[in-house]
A and B are shown apart, each in its own frame.
Chain A
């Protein structure tokens, strides 16, 4: 771990290109990220993570803590690697051909990329919600019950019923679908489908929920509902959300991380990032000069 934590001089040589933008700022690690990358009570920690797609270096030396019961937003222009980073956290990148991940990622101090770690078990602990709602073409009930059934979480049908109901309640969908649990999940509206996907992720009781632009395919009203839901879910879960909407990041998150071309440029309290960005690139992005 110490090897990845660099010194000031490392940072100066590693990121000479933007030395001018960093004048007078405190640089915490050798990847050159501005701001506080660690937190007091981390749920997940990443240290010096690099991701390659074949020859393409998609994520460069990212070090970041994700605190318990916080919502952390990842923002940045398209192709900056924020979704790739998110998919490292539950090893979804394993399914991508030619993808290679180096560095350390831990969940509750257990190495996620360790040989001993079963990605199947990991993904039950680190759930994921995708950009486009992707309910299974199965009844709503079976959509929710899918995860619990696979992991043998429910001992009886009654218990399973309870998990389905509580998951749907937590996702704020219960009242809308309780009379049609036997109808296909694909028949719901876009916003309902996305909440169904969130309920499906909750049903296996994960610790962390990763959300990859969960509202980009939804209308403003459905988006508002999801955002409300994210805020409620923070009581019980740690949430990492990738978003293209800076307003959304500002509304739902406590911390914000700004990615640029595979580098983690700046991390900080959301209010600080949006009111007083310290890095020139962050400022340019949130003031809408590019992205």
Chain B
């Protein structure tokens, strides 16, 4: 029985357990004077039986699937001829690959010896046994679990509390998965970065002014100095993010003020979702919009003004990124402006202030921490943005503050370092992880500050 089929069967079994559990609770309640004398509603008894049927079986299934191939391979290796077992791990892996190919009928890279054929047959039979045994074990566990729970059902069984306890555990597990994934990503980036910093000193990475990550493969190769000074990348990122914020903050903030203070309810109901659509446009679409429409426009405008503009400029990428970020600023700012109590506005109006005076002197100062929070979140979004800059800002790591020049960012370099074939012992590849770490630390810091600021603001009125 294949695994998806097994899972389907298990789900059917769970449904049956639910129905039977529910029915039994109704049946036992008849002897105790009706459903009202049950501790919990019948559906809780059903859920109780169903959860006991499903969860242990599913756990065993997961463990089985996780360890199956390791154990099966181990058994196959043990049956291989002595001289094959003596091979190094790399070559043994090749042999095992052939064995697997033989079982699944693929092309085999070597001559099919009787030993190989025997190993393939062995593997095949082991896998078959494993699948059958898994099906039997899992389904019987489901039946046993559900059956035990079903037997327990009595008017006194606190099914509701038990179900809630199980649900509680499931919720904890779900949040732990998210947390552990984050921790895992951080650790993997961290360890690779440490490897990188073994070859390239941290100071020359953080403060070096020259970025040219090509490493000479042969001694006589030209132009491959392998310099890992990340400062041009940082300034490029800063430049583009800065341009983006110059676009996004005024427009987003003013849009938020209009939406929350001036717009009629009907207009707001339409305009706000439409503005948020901007956030839903895939960044790659923004990317070719930037590269094919905005960048030539910027260049032509520059030429008309007598300026020298690169065809891939920081300005084009920054402008488009700013447009992309507008909804982050406007939507969050709109929320915090709306959270300013109406009583503040009333107080100002009652003193004879006009609407714009009220907005400038009362509403915005009261909402300022929240607005700062939203801007910081937008900044971390801008720093982490990749696609637009890959397509519109160029690849040359120039140390420049000229927005008309082409620059590159941290994210773009990570992409270019990891596209294509890599060797994981080369600083060129590992540099991507170091850059990722820097990016992670910066955006994490910004997010922490932003969340802190927003939270502090919330306490003010509640």
A146 contacts B348, CB within 8 Å? yes
Q: A92 vs B348: C-alpha distance in the bound complex, in angstroms? A: 11
A124 contacts B365, CB within 8 Å? no
Nearest CB in chain B: distance from A143 CB, A = 9
A134 contacts B351, CB within 8 Å? no
For B341, the chain A residues whose CB sits under 8 A away are 134
Of B66-74, B272-280, B352-360, the segment with at least 4 beta carbons within 8 Å of chain A is B352-360
For B104, the chain A residues whose CB sits under 8 A away are none
Q: Which residue in B265, B344, B350 is a CB contact (below 8 Å) of A136?
A: B344
Q: A122 vs B353: C-alpha distance in the bound complex, in angstroms? A: 11
Q: A123 vs B341: C-alpha distance in the bound complex, in angstroms? A: 20
Given contact pairs A92-B346, A95-B345, A97-B265, A136 touches B362 in the complex (Cβ within 8 A): yes
For A92, the chain B residues whose CB sits under 8 A away are 346, 349-350
Q: A201 vs B354: C-alpha distance in the bound complex, in angstroms? A: 16
Asked whether B255 is an interface residue with its Cβ less than 8 Å from the other chain, the reply is no
Q: A204 vs B348: C-alpha distance in the bound complex, in angstroms? A: 12
Q: A201 vs B350: C-alpha distance in the bound complex, in angstroms? A: 8
A130 contacts B347, CB within 8 Å? yes
A128 contacts B350, CB within 8 Å? yes
Given contact pairs A97-B265, A136-B366, A137-B366, A150 touches B352 in the complex (Cβ within 8 A): yes
Central interface residue in B264, B349, B365, by most chain A CB within 10 Å:
B349
Asked whether B343 is an interface residue with its Cβ less than 8 Å from the other chain, the reply is yes
Central interface residue in A124, A138, A146, by most chain B CB within 10 Å:
A146
Asked whether B460 is an interface residue with its Cβ less than 8 Å from the other chain, the reply is yes
Nearest CB in chain B: distance from A181 CB, A = 18
Chain B residue at smallest Cβ distance from A200: B351
Chain B residue at smallest Cβ distance from A147: B351
Given contact pairs A137-B365, A146-B348, A146-B361, A132 touches B353 in the complex (Cβ within 8 A): no
Q: A148 vs B341: C-alpha distance in the bound complex, in angstroms? A: 23
For B460, the chain A residues whose CB sits under 8 A away are 137, 186
Within 8 A of B (CB), among A178-231: 186, 197, 200-201, 204
Chain A residue at smallest Cβ distance from B341: A134
Within 8 A of A (CB), among B223-239: none
Asked whether A127 is an interface residue with its Cβ less than 8 Å from the other chain, the reply is yes
Nearest CB in chain B: distance from A62 CB, A = 21
A124 contacts B351, CB within 8 Å? yes
Chain B residue at smallest Cβ distance from A150: B353
A201 contacts B349, CB within 8 Å? no
For B353, the chain A residues whose CB sits under 8 A away are 120, 146-147, 150
B343 contacts A130, CB within 8 Å? yes
Asked whether A18 is an interface residue with its Cβ less than 8 Å from the other chain, the reply is no
Q: A204 vs B354: C-alpha distance in the bound complex, in angstroms? A: 15
Q: A120 vs B348: C-alpha distance in the bound complex, in angstroms? A: 10
B350 contacts A90, CB within 8 Å? yes
Q: Which residue in A97, A123, A138, A186 is a CB contact (below 8 Å) of B351?
A: A123
For B357, the chain A residues whose CB sits under 8 A away are 150
Q: A121 vs B353: C-alpha distance in the bound complex, in angstroms? A: 9
Given contact pairs A137-B366, A146-B361, A150-B357, A95 touches B349 in the complex (Cβ within 8 A): yes
Given A124-B352, A137-B365, A200-B351; 19 other pairs, CB 8 A cutoff = A92-B349, A92-B350, A95-B346, A121-B352, A123-B349, A127-B351, A128-B350, A130-B347, A130-B350, A134-B341, A134-B343, A134-B347, A136-B366, A137-B344, A137-B460, A138-B365, A146-B348, A146-B353, A204-B351
Task: State the A residues within 8 Å of B (CB).
Answer: 90, 92, 95, 97, 120-124, 127-128, 130, 132, 134-138, 146-147, 150-151, 186, 197, 200-201, 204
Task: State the B residues within 8 Å of A (CB).
Answer: 264-265, 341, 343-354, 357, 361-362, 365-366, 460
Report 16 cross-chain contacts, Cβ distance below 8 Å, ordered by A residue. Answer: A92-B346, A95-B349, A120-B354, A121-B352, A123-B349, A127-B350, A130-B343, A134-B347, A135-B347, A138-B365, A146-B348, A146-B353, A150-B353, A200-B351, A201-B351, A204-B351
